[in-house]
Amino acid sequence: MTAAKRPPLPVILLANDLLDGEVVFWTGRVWSDRPQEALIARDEAGAALLEAAAAEALAQNKVVDAYLVDVALDGEGRAVPRHYREKIKTEGPSVRRDLGKQAGQSNLVPTGH
Amino acid sequence: MYRYDEFDARFVRERVAQFRDQVARRLDGSLTEDEFKPLRLKNGVYLQLHAYMLRIAIPYGTLSARQLRQLALIGEKYDRGYGHFTTRTNMQFNWPRLRDVPEILDLLADVEMHCIQTSGNCIRNVTADHFAGVAADEVEDPRPTAELIRQWSSLHPEFDYLPRKFKIAVTGSPQDRAVTKAHDIGLRILRNAKGEIGYEVMVGGGLGRTPMIAKTIRAFLPKAELLAYLEAVLRVYNLEGRRDNKYKARVKILVHEIGAEKFTQLVEDEYARLDGPSIVADPQEVARIAAYFAPPAYEKLPLRSTGFDAAKTQNRAFATWASVNLFPHKLTGYAAATISLKNIGEAPGDVTSAQMRVLADLAEKYSFDELRITHAQNVVLPHVKQDDLFAVWQALVAADLASANAGLITDIIACPGLDYCSLATARSIPIAQALAQRFADQERQIEIGELNIKISGCINACAHHHVGHIGILGLEKSGKESYQITLGGDATLNAAIGERLGPGLDAEDVPDTIERIVEVYLQHRKAGEPFIDAVRRLGLEPFKAVVQETLHAPA
């Protein structure tokens, strides 16, 4: 991941858990399956920290397909991806509201890591 | 149905053990993601938008009740209670955990199934006519040929790292129900003037970003020579196919760039050079495979079943289903029943574990333990006695599987699209749902007649939109989903690539536009003229005007 490809701010870092595939978000400390816990980087320095966290997690074989996603902040300050693809990725299938994060489901096995 | 011999069984079990070890080595860091990815893909494991996805091979779309019950169990135990049938007659599960995949592969091996070569740059699962062994016009059942190719191509050492994926389809009838001309190799079984059986060999078909119709490179290949000739085709592709650009790596590009004549010459030269007798299958082995596909123990039945006729008279919904979803069987007193997985408002090709069990029970009780999966994402019970059709239909109604729309406008093919797929540029399922709801009226669907709509959520064209009578392609335009409409595609032996009607439309404008296209057809059709014939006669202009109207309609 290079600065040249960095999306517009603010951004969050998401990935898929290597073992369970679940979409996970970097909280600044751990990977969480809850989008509302994502750490929001509002400046270039914060985005660079997220990139460093992505590189480290990939190297440690905890996650795959880690990348920054540009977000808007809703009325309560929560990050919502601007692009429809990433919005579906953080919610679940739009045609099955009973499945995925939007339905409170997670594939993460709690003892995973 | 084909049954594994000891070698098949051992090979599949060994492969499961290998994959279990590969997963363990990925988790302990011995394998990087770059090293692991091609290994998991060769075992059907993708990483999609929300989770991993597992693609399970259903060779030539044939399943037994026991196999479908095992898929139901896997769906329930390791997924979210449902699976999805694809346009290559495979099953995909959308939510498995990587840590569970070795267990799932073991469960599949228990019922002689696997995920080998459902992805990666190798020869993929071989598909065939879903009415194999049923159709009256069939020259020969294509399944023994498909099984022979499956065995020859499984872990073929020379063709394990081709420039790109390679798909083969076989039909045994003059009517092409397997979309053979959109495959890397399409095979059509036919007889020559002497009455001998052989194959028309078509090469270089494919859809995706560069749609091409396959070219015939051998009008008649004697049956016994098949594997040696396929080996020559694959060898030419393996050597000459491009590896510098994945978008130009399919055999269709090679055939297009050097021309069908030159490609044919290269294949024939290679064929003359190779040691054919060492490659072609032993006739005893061919006979052994063919014996598994011997016709079931049919009863001798009268042409018409009085019970069936009476049930149709007494029950209008059954009569409608029977007139739309049944296909004539070569044997009197039987029918092949298409079970639509296209309920109005649901995702095309999705089936719950509970429905899988109902289908398995019906196959066991009424169809010699056989099911077929179609490229149109439906299921077929191939050999049902007419006397039993009413009971079958009643069970289907109870399981919400009795939609009477096979081949009609709501029998829409759709890929998973951006609701699941990480490659997609737009959603396809919501478009299919909106169109099905728009055309839900049963009488109107029948009045419109045969009309295939195929919706892909990206240029890779998994839903075959190029060969849909109406094709819809979902793209991204200025940060929004946008849908291009094509018209005049045809997936049969008259294969044709549809042409674009105009610029992309917003999702909410698609149903109105398709409705107007259908209205133009209804206004101009001659008596009994199907949609695709009318489009060919009328040309695109009257339909292009419809898209322009949508684009210029006041907001």
pLDDT digits (tens, 9 = 90+) for A16-39: 999 999 999 999 999 999 999 999
Instruction: Count residue pairs from A and B with Cβ separation < 8 A.
Output: 74
Q: Give start-end residues of each CATH 3.90.480.20 domain in chain B.
A: 6-110, 306-398
Whether residue A107 and residue B347 make contact (CB cut-off 8 A), yes or no, is no
Q: Chain A 36-95, CB below 8 Å of chain B: which residues? A: 58, 60-61, 64-65, 82-85, 88-89, 92-95
Select from A58, A61, A65 the Cβ nearest to the Cβ of B47. A65
| pLDDT value for A103 | 97
Burial of B258 (0-12, 13-18, 19+ CB in 10 A): middle
Whether residue B47 and residue A18 make contact (CB cut-off 8 A), yes or no, is no
Select from B99, B419, B433 the Cβ nearest to the Cβ of A20. B99
| pLDDT value for A77 | 86
Q: Is A5 on the interface with B (CB under 8 A)?
A: no
Question: What residues pair up with B476 in beta bridges, in sequence order?
Answer: B481
Whole-number Å distance between alpha carbons of B361 and B65: 7
Q: Give start-end residues of each CATH 3.30.413.10 domain in chain B.
A: 134-291, 413-552
In a mutational test of the A interface, the residue from B53, B82, B97 whose CB has the highest number of chain A CBs within 10 Å is: B97
φ, ψ of residue A73 to 5 degrees: the values are -105, 130
B276 Cβ contact list (under 8 Å, min separation 6): B225, B228
| pLDDT value for B555 | 67
The CATH code of the domain at B134-291 is 3.30.413.10
State the Cα angle at B512 between B510 and B517, rounded to 5°. Answer: 95
Question: What residues pair up with B351 in beta bridges, in sequence order?
Answer: B83
Average pLDDT over residues A73-83: 92
Per CATH, domain B306-398 is 3.30.70.20: no
Residue-wise pLDDT tens for chain B (555 aa)? 889 989 999 999 999 999 999 999 998 899 999 999 999 999 999 999 999 999 999 999 999 999 999 999 999 999 999 999 999 999 999 999 999 999 999 999 999 999 999 999 999 999 999 999 999 999 999 999 999 999 999 999 999 999 999 999 999 999 999 999 999 999 999 999 999 999 999 999 999 999 999 999 999 999 999 999 999 999 999 999 999 999 999 999 999 999 999 999 999 999 999 999 999 999 999 999 999 999 999 999 999 899 999 999 999 999 999 999 999 999 999 999 999 999 999 999 999 999 999 999 999 999 999 999 999 999 999 999 999 999 999 999 999 999 999 999 999 999 999 999 999 999 999 999 999 999 999 999 999 999 999 999 999 999 999 999 999 999 999 999 999 999 999 999 899 999 999 999 999 999 999 999 999 999 999 999 999 999 999 999 999 999 888 888 876
3 state DSSP class of B199: strand
Nearest to B27 by CA among A106, A50, A63: A63
Task: State the fold for domain B6-110.
Answer: Sulfite Reductase Hemoprotein; domain 2 (3.90.480)
Q: Is B429 on the interface with A (CB under 8 A)?
A: yes
pLDDT tier at A111 (50, 70, 90 boundaries)?
Answer: low
Query: Do residues B459 and B416 lie in contact, with contact meaning Cβ atoms separated by under 8 Å?
Result: no
Distance from CA of B148 to the nearest CA of A (A): 36
| pLDDT value for B552 | 86
Could you identify the residue written with the tokens 């073991």?
A: B106
Could you identify the residue written with the tokens 């080595």?
A: B25
ipTM value greater than 0.85: yes
Q: Could you say which of 3.30.360.10, 3.30.9.10, 3.30.413.10, 2.60.130.10 is the CATH number of the domain covering B413-552?
A: 3.30.413.10
pLDDT tier at A113 (50, 70, 90 boundaries)?
Answer: very low
Residues of B in contact with A21 (CB under 8 A): 47, 50-52, 95-98
pLDDT tier at A112 (50, 70, 90 boundaries)?
Answer: very low
State which H helix or E strand residue B291 sits in. Answer: helix B283-291
State the Cα angle at B4 between B167 and B90, rounded to 5°. Answer: 35
Whether residue B33 and residue A96 make contact (CB cut-off 8 A), yes or no, is no
Whether residue B80 and residue A99 make contact (CB cut-off 8 A), yes or no, is yes
Q: Where are the domains of chain A?
A: 3-103
B416 residue type, one letter? P
Tokens of B74: 């896997």
Strand boundaries in B398-548, DSSP class E: 413-414, 453-456, 470-477, 480-487, 499-500
Q: What is the DSSP letter of A42?
A: -
- Which chain B residue is nearest to residue A108, measuring alpha carbons? B97
- Which chain A residue is nearest to residue B24, measuring alpha carbons? A19
Whether residue B27 and residue A19 make contact (CB cut-off 8 A), yes or no, is yes
